[in-house]
């Protein structure tokens, strides 16, 4: 039962255009969301995050939007560059009182983005 | 800093054998996490340590899996006996805090159990 869903396994866009990666979640306890980027044969690297008290966070070409009522977040990359080609993971964080109040991070399965020159 | 160092990068072993994966975290990072990545389940947290003490091992799939952190600069994840369904990429990550934006992942160990 995936609490964090990335319904598009892959996405292909043209260089210079906008890339939009989507993520849906089911657990209303999530209060912090993150996007990670992963190149082949490397570990994921942190890209951008957003707290549940915000609906937008921007860092250069990357913007994350959060719609809490829809339990949906998206990552926008503008403009897309060939170097952005990677797998993008959405992750959501919550404190689980029944698990010793430990904060847990739940990951989506990832979306593979290909930016074509 | 060389980042989080994992070894080996690739491991192929026969079913029933013991497998040990190793991780050297970034110096000064008090948190160490072991993750497993599969196509079907994505990234799953197996266990994490704070100051060398295991805090949450609820993700460890079964007793065949064990993890240790004897000191601040070294951790192991052991599978004994290994099974084909353990085939996955295992990542180690370290962080100065439990907050996920601080995670630095290693390059992973690709384990294949035949």
Is residue B77 within 8 A of residue B65, CB to CB? The reply is yes
Query: Of B23, B25, B40, B9, which is closest to residue B110 (Cα–Cα)?
Result: B9
Q: Tell me how many degrees the CA angle B68-B69-B74 measures, rounded to the nearest 5.
A: 120
* Among the partner residues A93, A99, A110, nearest to B100 by beta-carbon distance: A93
**How distant is the Cα of B66 from the closest Cα of chain A, in angstroms?**
19
Q: Which of A2, A44, A105 sits opposite B45 (nearest CB)?
A: A105
**Would you write out chain A's pLDDT as a tens digit for each of its 117 residues?**
679 999 999 999 999 999 999 999 999 999 999 999 999 989 999 999 999 999 999 999 999 999 999 999 999 999 999 999 999 999 999 887 766 677 788 899 999 999 999
**How high is the pLDDT of residue B58?**
87
Residue with tokens 């994921």: A44
Cα separation, A83 vs A112, in Å, equals: 13
Interface residue B18 vs chain A (CB under 8 A): no
Query: CA torsion, points A67, A69, A70, A73, in degrees to nearest 10?
Result: 20
Interval B68-90: pLDDT, tens? 999 999 999 999 999 999 999 99
Tokens of A58: 């921007």
Residue A63: its pLDDT value, please?
98
């Amino acid at each position: 039962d995936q609490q964090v869903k990335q319904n598009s396994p892959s996405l292909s866009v043209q260089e210079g255009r906008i890339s939009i990666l989507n993520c849906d979640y089911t657990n209303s306890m999530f209060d912090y969301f993150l996007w990670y980027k992963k190149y082949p044969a490397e570990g994921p690297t942190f890209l951008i995050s957003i707290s549940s008290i915000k609906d937008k966070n921007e860092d250069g070409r990357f913007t994350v939007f959060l719609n809490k009522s829809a339990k949906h977040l998206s990552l926008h990359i503008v403009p897309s560059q060939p170097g952005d080609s990677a797998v993008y993971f959405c992750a959501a964080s919550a404190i689980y009182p029944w698990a010793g109040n430990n904060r847990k991070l739940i990951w989506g399965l990832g979306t593979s983005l290909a930016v074509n020159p | 800093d060389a980042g989080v160092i994992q070894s080996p990068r690739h491991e192929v072993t026969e079913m029933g054998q013991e497998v040990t994966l190793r991780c050297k975290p970034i110096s000064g990072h008090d948190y160490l996490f072991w993750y497993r990545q599969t196509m079907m389940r994505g990234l799953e947290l197996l266990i994490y340590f704070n100051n060398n003490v295991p805090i949450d091992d609820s993700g460890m799939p079964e007793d065949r899996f064990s993890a240790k952190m004897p000191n601040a600069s070294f951790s192991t994840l052991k599978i004994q006996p290994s099974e084909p369904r353990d085939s996955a990429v295992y990542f180690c990550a370290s962080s100065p805090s439990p907050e996920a934006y601080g995670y630095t992942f290693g390059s992973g160990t690709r384990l294949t159990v035949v």
